[in-house]
């Protein structure tokens, strides 16, 4: 359905702006509740003009989901690739995921909320990517279990879901104008995921 080449940089400017604005509106009101009219108005265009840039409205949603998923997957894989220590890989993954997700919050939130409104065909494509990425996360966690730094009494898949839940929900409540930077938040996620919120029973005896 989509054959845009992203090789060239400059001539695609309008298309990028379109995606950015669409992501903001979709996140705010939902995909189906956002009309091509609203979209055009925000861009200072007539609604007919949109169809010079896209084939149909759904293409916007598809591109947004694609963009968000690819972005986060590539960022995370690139970040953890040169690292071998399992614990460092996990911490790096959490930081890269958090920062990338918040860097493009509208697209990421839309991808999470509105992917159910894609056509069956597009939905499968997106779901495949999603599952692949989940597998990457799960593998990092599994390696931590093997290395003895993450508990083995819970299935890696469960732990993956817990971690992704915590990080992904952030896209819904995080306000960039608040006090916490994405990096601060990443620190908190790392601590919360690994140590939990409970006070350690025995940290009065620090190890050498």
Instruction: By CB under 8 A, name the binding residues for a second copy.
Output: 28-33, 113-114, 116-117, 141, 148-151, 154, 158-159, 161-166, 168-170, 173, 188-189, 191-203, 205, 207
Question: Closest CB to a second copy among 6 and 205?
Answer: 205
Could you tell me the CA-to-CA distances from 86 to 22, 82, 143 in Å, in that order?
A: 38, 12, 6
Question: Closest CB to DNA among 40 and 161?
Answer: 40
Return the residue matching tokens 């990517």.
Answer: 129
The item of DNA, a second copy, none sharing an interface with residue 28, based on CB under 5 to 8 Å by kind, is a second copy
CA pseudo-torsion sign 53, 59, 60, 65: negative
CA-nearest of 15, 23, 25 to 49 is: 15
Distance CA 80, CA 101 (A): 16
Find the distance separating the first CA and the last CA of the chain, reported in whole Å: 59
Kindly state the smallest distance separating residue 125's Cβ from DNA, in Å. Answer: 18
The item of DNA, a second copy, none sharing an interface with residue 53, based on CB under 5 to 8 Å by kind, is DNA
Kindly state the smallest distance separating residue 2's Cβ from DNA, in Å. Answer: 14
Question: Closest CB to a second copy among 15 and 166?
Answer: 166
The item of a second copy, DNA, none sharing an interface with residue 165, based on CB under 5 to 8 Å by kind, is a second copy
Kindly state the smallest distance separating residue 13's Cβ from a second copy, in Å. Answer: 29
What is the contact surface with DNA in residues (CB under 7 A)? Answer: 11, 14, 34-37, 40, 44-49, 51-53, 55-58
Burial of 42-59, coded b for 16+ CB within 10 Å and e otherwise, reads: ebebeeeebeebbeebeb
Burial of 110-120, coded b for 16+ CB within 10 Å and e otherwise, reads: bbbebbebbee
């Amino acid at each position: 359905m989509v054959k845009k080449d992203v090789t060239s940089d400059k001539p695609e400017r309008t298309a990028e702006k379109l995606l950015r604005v669409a992501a903001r509106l979709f996140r705010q009101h939902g995909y189906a509740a956002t009309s091509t009219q609203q979209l055009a108005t925000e861009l200072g265009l007539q609604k007919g003009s949109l169809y010079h840039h896209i084939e149909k409205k759904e293409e916007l949603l598809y591109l947004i989901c694609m963009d968000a998923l690819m972005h986060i997957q590539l960022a995370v894989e690139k970040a953890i690739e040169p690292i071998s220590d399992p614990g460092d890989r996990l911490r790096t993954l959490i930081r890269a995921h958090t920062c990338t997700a918040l860097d493009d919050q509208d697209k990421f939130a839309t991808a999470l909320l509105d992917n159910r409104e894609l056509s069956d065909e597009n939905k499968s494509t997106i779901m495949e990517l999603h599952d692949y990425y989940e597998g990457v996360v799960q593998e990092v966690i599994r390696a931590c279990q093997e290395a003895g730094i993450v508990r083995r009494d819970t299935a890696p898949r469960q732990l993956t879901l817990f971690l992704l839940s915590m990080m992904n929900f952030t896209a819904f409540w995080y306000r960039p104008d608040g006090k916490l930077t994405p990096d601060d938040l990443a620190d908190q996620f790392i601590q919360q995921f690994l140590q939990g919120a409970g006070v350690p029973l025995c940290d009065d005896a620090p190890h050498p």
